[in-house]
Amino acid sequence: MVSRVIPVEDFDLVIFGGTGDLARRKILPGLFRRFLSGQMPSTSRVIGAARSDLDSDGYRAMIREAIDEFGGDEKSETAKLDAFLAQLDYVPIDAMGTGGWSDLSKLMRDGVVKAFYFSVAPSLFGPLAERLHDHGIAGPDSRIVVEKPFGRDLASAHELNATLAEHFDERQIYRIDHYLGKETVQNLMAVRFGNVLFEPLWNNHYVDHIQITVAETVGVGGRGAYYDRSGAMRDMVQNHLMQLLCLIAMEPPSEFEADAVRDEKLKVIRALQPVEPHHIVRGQYQAGPETASYREDAENERSFTESFIAMRTEIANWRWAGVPFYMRTGKRLRARTSEITVVFKDLGHSIFKDDGVAHHNILSIRLQPNEGIDLQMTIKEPGPGGMRLVDVPLDLTFAEALGDTVEDVADAYERLIMDVIRGNQTLFMRGDEVEAAWAWTDPLIEGWTARNDVPKTYETGSAGPEDALMLMHRDGRRWRDIKA
């Protein structure tokens, strides 16, 4: 069984920052895969734009190298790569300057979807929006794609929204959170809203608590200075983890449509409770046998920025009142894994008198690695010796269950770019959603800043600071193991 690929409409996609890391590592290799799958029309154009003094041939050579370095198995398809590169152009443009815009304008065609990917620093979003508008390059149907970070607090996010709104309607703005483009994240919605099994149990009567873990093994080396100004809260929680929390907690939208889904996510964010100081644990990794400490990586011996954060929050609505949501994310942890876990309550009464162990059903949704879902069930331990119970996983690893169909699964960036061309905003954050997320985040950051909170240290390769384990233990619960 092979997945059906429906080509998108013909498009011109301009990538500002087309020579940058994100463009070379993710956007262009992703587009090449969409080209190979037949989803990208052979007439579509991709135009790189940045200050570097390149011509289109020079840009094609750069992207050939990038696909060679960052592409997967598909990079060996030389003839097809040539055909893909022939669809690329390049225009030297300084986002702050006046040159190059008429060249760009000449390259753009009428009658096709026009999209502009702002893969540049957020300080350039405003100047780009203004110039695209002033030079008549973007019209009322054009789309712009903006990258995280979308602001660093409510005030800056609000200002950024206002700047973009001067030239573009909300329906034209695609704020990327690449977590939303992951296959399993969408599966989370399919599992919740496509099965009768879970919805009746998806509430405070049956759910004991929910855990969201996004663990990384890498440190911040390379982008230490940038990271030190943001930290795990701004870099991961405010966007990726909160988006996951929204999808797991939101009410069923009336239909799977952009605003219906985003309205429901927004309600979750607005119902999020402030987090008590003793329900937040921040950490910084220590040096490992061959790796530097956080402070060395950040080149800031006095840094109080967190490379790890764990917290407990609650959602004040009828469905979730009283159910703790535990979130944690960090760098230099034991394994690279992203997982959402729904731990159901134990049975009020067990008929198996001798057992004495509390058995929980646990639904765990793995975003990476081995995307899939497993459901911990309680069964009888096989063999003689009476009725002994044992918990076993019903494991559904998608790659195994779906066989050939998963061969052409688009990665997050590919899927999201194709959604931009299709004009589907469901998996993109709306302006009010981003602002609501900052409105919840800001007081937490302000709180620990005012308290001069010093992050706890934790060992490289561990599960984070001891205090993070205690956060759960105090509630009589435990985190799931961080394992690959």
What's the closest the beta carbon of residue 30 comes to ligand NAP, in angstroms? 12
Q: Is 147 in the site for ligand NAP (CB under 6 A)?
A: yes
Task: Work out whether 224 is an interface residue with ligand NAP (CB under 6 A).
Answer: no
- Please state the closest distance from residue 413 (CB atom) to ligand NAP, in A: 9
Token duo for residue 146: 């903006």
Burial 179-215 (b: 16+ CB within 10 A, else e): bbbbebbbbbbebbeeeeebeeebebeebbbbbbbbb
Q: Is 425 in the site for ligand NAP (CB under 6 A)?
A: no
Q: Is 275 one of the binding residues for ligand NAP (CB under 6 A)? A: no
How do 11-16 and 45-50 pair as beta strands? Answer: parallel
Indicate which single residue of 17, 151, 330, 465 sits in contact with ligand NAP (rule: CB under 6 A). 17
Residue 317 is a binding residue for ligand NAP (CB under 6 A): no
CB of 92 to ligand NAP, least distance (A): 8
Nearest CB to ligand NAP, comparing residues 147 and 297: 147
Q: Minimum Å distance from CB 164 to ligand NAP?
A: 14
Which member of 167, 178, 209, 240 is catalytic?
A: 240
Our CB check for ligand NAP shows the closer of 22 and 373 to be 22
Residues in 41-60 that interact with ligand NAP by CB under 6 A: 50-52
In whole angstroms, what is the distance from residue 60 CA to residue 41 CA?
Answer: 18
Exactly one of 39, 44, 87, 119 binds ligand NAP (CB under 6 A); that residue is 119
120 lines the binding site for ligand NAP (CB under 6 A): yes
Alpha helices in 358-465 (DSSP H): 398-402, 412-422, 431-450
Q: Judged by CB under 6 A, does residue 187 bind ligand NAP?
A: no
205 catalytic, yes or no?
no
Minimum distance from residue 20 beta carbon to ligand NAP (Å)? 2
How many residues interact with ligand NAP (rule CB under 6 A)? 23
User: Does 19 participate in binding ligand NAP (rule CB under 6 A)?
Assistant: yes
Closest CB to ligand NAP among residues 178, 265? 178
Find out whether 339 and 200 touch, Cβ atoms under 8 Å: no
CB under 6 A: which stretch of 17-25, 131-139, 197-205, 370-378 binds ligand NAP?
Answer: 17-25
Cα–Cα distance, 2 to 403 (Å, whole number): 9
Q: Which is nearer to ligand NAP, 14 or 323 (CB)?
A: 14
Position 457, amino acid: T
- Determine, following the binding rule CB under 6 A, whether residue 103 of this chain makes contact with ligand NAP: no
Find the shortest distance in angstroms from Cβ 365 to ligand NAP: 23
Tell me whether residue 93 or residue 427 sits nearer to ligand NAP (CB atom). 93
| Residue of this chain nearest to ligand NAP (CB atom) | 20
What is 226-287 written as a DSSP string? HHHTTHHIIIIIIIIIHHHHHHHHSPPPSSS-HHHHHHHHHHHHHHBPPPPGGGEEEEEEPP
Distance CA 267, CA 176 (A): 20
Q: Which two tokens stand for residue 11?
A: 């498009």
Judged by CB under 6 A, the residue of 61, 83, 86, 121 near ligand NAP is 121
How far apart are CB 259 and ligand NAP at their closest, in Å? 25
- Whether the Cβ atoms of residue 20 and residue 62 lie closer than 8 Å to each other: no
- What mask, x for binding ligand NAP by CB under 6 A, covers residues 78 to 97? ---------------xxxx-
Q: What angle do CA 10, 6, 17 make, to 5 degrees?
A: 50
Residue 120's alpha-carbon distances to 96, 154, 163, 270, in angstroms, are 12, 21, 16, 30
Quick one: which of 5, 7, 10, 20 contacts ligand NAP (CB under 6 A)? Answer: 20
Rg from Cα positions in the chain: 24
Backbone angles phi, psi at 418, to 5 degrees: -65, -35
Min CB(53)–ligand NAP separation in Å: 8
The 8-class DSSP code of residue 42 comes to T
The number of helix segments (H) and strand segments (E) in the chain equals 17, 15
Q: Which residues bind ligand NAP (CB under 6 A)?
A: 16-23, 50-52, 93-96, 119-122, 124, 147-149
Active site residues: 240
